[in-house]
A and B are shown apart, each in its own frame.
Chain A
Amino acid sequence: MTRWLELKDTLVLAERQGKTPLEIEKEHLAQGVVPLHYQRNYNAISLSDQIKLLDSRVGVCGCGGLGMNIVNYLARLGVGHITVWDPDIFSESNLNRQLFSSSDNIGKSKVEVCRASVQQINPAVCLTAIPAKWEESDASVICQQQVMVDALDNIPSRIALARSCEKFNIPLVHGAVGGWYGQLTVVMPGDRILQEIYQNAEQQGIEKEQGTLPYTAAVLAGLEAAETVKLLLDMESDLRSHLCLVDLLNMSLDMLPKCNNNVNKM
């Protein structure tokens, strides 16, 4: 019979033993005791995989409509170490879709609000909030990540991120949205799909004309989070060899094969 560990007990044990909540949760999981707030992860996520997630490091570039939802999903799942980059502060136009935005926090740093929210959601998660563009970070911060997640809002940064991930041999989960539409793929080192999609960085995406709808951001963010977890847990994914196009208006999901010479297996 499975034994459970309540969050309040995790926090008391951490305080008493001078350890982090993350360390307490890992110790208990290793003995078959499951933190209660992961109860509904189980058995879709096995106990050994839950420990693996707690030990994982993910970098999320961009903390807007996509990024906040992605961080939310990863934190609730129990991904132990999350770094999130975004130099922006909340503005009123963010309220239609950005998860942690509210009329009270307009003008506040997005990543700082995100960090405080994650602390409330899952105190075991170590979230590093960097209120700057990811490009300004030291390469060593990027190199620490097992998976990078593209939740950016502009094409030049997306291309630069793809190049950086290739250079440091880090898998990249790409997602982009505009209006009712989105696209998603997993970019393994050697795969140049983003350079192929965004051949002219000066072109505009449809989001300039269509805006971004809240459910489109949430759906694509959920898909990006799922692909991130599959990479962390060494699970297979068709998105390593396909580009997925999501159309919520016509309710279609198309899987487009990438060119074979662009695809490397992990």
Chain B
Amino acid sequence: MVVKVKLFATFRRGRFREQDMELPDGCTVEWVLDHLNIPRRQLGIIYLNGLAASEDTVLHQGDTLSIFPMVGGG
């Protein structure tokens, strides 16, 4: 299945900004995070098709997954 994956801020570095990824059927958000080596300690919000999702959310063909790092400085 193909899922559009969007990365934001520091997660773009050395990876990509937006990519249609070929993923195993039935895989979860966690699989994508592992595959892209996203550091969990910096992980902020995860959106799937514009709604908040979690690491164990199952992905489907045509989904759009957005992954953001946590930003907290002032």
Contacts and interface: CB of A to CB of B under 8 A. Distances in A.
Overall SS of chain B's interface: mixed
A256 B44 CA distance: 14
Contacts of B10: 178-179, 181, 206, 209-210
A177 B10 CA distance: 12
Overall SS of chain A's interface: mixed
A179 B73 CA distance: 9
Given A178-B9, A179-B9, 19 more contacts: A65-B74, A155-B70, A176-B72, A178-B69, A181-B8, A181-B71, A182-B71, A183-B71, A196-B52, A203-B41, A205-B42, A205-B73, A206-B9, A206-B73, A209-B42, A245-B8, A254-B8, A256-B50, A256-B66
Contacts of A205: 42, 69-73
A119 interface: no
Contacts of B50: 256-257
A254 B45 CA distance: 14
Interface string B7-45: 011101000010000000000000000000000011111
Interface in A239-266: 243, 245, 247, 250, 252, 254, 256-257, 259
Contacts of A152: 74
Interface string A171-215: 000011111111100000000000011100001111101101000
Interface residues of B, number: 22
Contacts of B12: 247, 250
Given A206-B42, A256-B47, A155 B52 contact: no
A197 B44 contact: yes
A206 B43 CA distance: 9
Contacts of B68: 245
A80 interface: no
B8 A247 contact: yes
